[in-house]
Structure 1
């Protein structure tokens, strides 16, 4: 993984999560802004999949468990999809909060993936 890209993804995920949680707690239903924020997080996760495929070939192999890393990454990619589907089926203020919680969970998962990739020794 690339540190600056991971930090950028975490910042975007925390910003999107904070936006959605605040919007939900103020009573706003899912909108283009909140769903779009999660779409940006999803796009960055897709880019992370590409980076994870190319990085070992470019001489940046993981030092931790590769299976654990991929389970985190696949789960993180699926999480915004599930949250958006929930938000579109149940259009309430709480589904907007769920969008935010999903984005904040992704931020934590991204940092854990960085730790798996770089810090642990296999």
Structure 2
């Protein structure tokens, strides 16, 4: 099956965010602006992804799997960067960067599953 551009853009955004957060974990004692902004970029991608998916579905492109499952993944993925951000703001330790690094990894896995549900890919 063919994957769409949204998936590959999400892979790149998540990979860059993960790299920034891991570097911040190794080099800093507290979450810096770069790590927090990289997770915000993941959230921005998810907003664009959700709007694009709504437009595609509204335009008649069917979801091959269950729509409720797809939108459940979208809603859950949308909450993760927000939770990671608040964790990093409230807990100014090195381990907050690990929590921030877990966000793009988890979003990537969820994005992979959303691609399976939407296109029947992989």
TM-score using structure 1 length: 0.90
| Unmatched segments (≥5 aa) in structure 1 | none
Q: Deviations over 1:45-83 (max 9, x none)?
A: 001110121101223110001111111100100000000
> Displacement of 1:18 after TM fit?
2.3
Name which of structure 1's ranges 11-20 and 78-87 shifts more when overlaid on structure 2: 11-20
* 1:104 corresponds to 2:113: no
Say whether the 8 Å CA contact 2:24–2:32 is kept in structure 1.
no
Q: What is the 5 A alignment of 1:16-35?
A: 16-35=17-36
Equivalent residue of 1:59, what SS? coil
Distance 1:57 1:13 in 2: 27
Note closer, same or farther for the CA distance 1:60–1:28 as it changes in structure 2 (3 Å cut). farther
The runs of 5 or more residues in structure 2 that have no matched partner are none
Stretches (4+) displaced over 4 A: none
Does residue 1:94 correspond to 2:95, yes or no? yes
Counterparts of 1:28 and 1:46, CA distance in 2: 30
Aligned length: 119
Provide the secondary structure at the position in 2 that maps to 1:16.
helix
Aligned mates of 1:79, 1:53 — CA distance in 2 = 20
When structure 1 is superposed on structure 2, of 81-90 and 111-120 the one drifting more is 111-120
Question: 70-79 or 8-17, which moves further after superposition?
Answer: 8-17
Do structure 1's residue 63 and structure 2's residue 64 form an aligned pair?
yes
TM-score normalised per structure 2: 0.90
8 Å contact from structure 1 (residues 24, 96) kept in 2: yes
3-state SS of 1:24 partner: helix
Q: Give the secondary structure class of the aligned counterpart of 1:111.
A: helix
2:78 corresponds to: 77
The answer to whether structure 1 residue 36 and structure 2 residue 37 are counterparts is yes
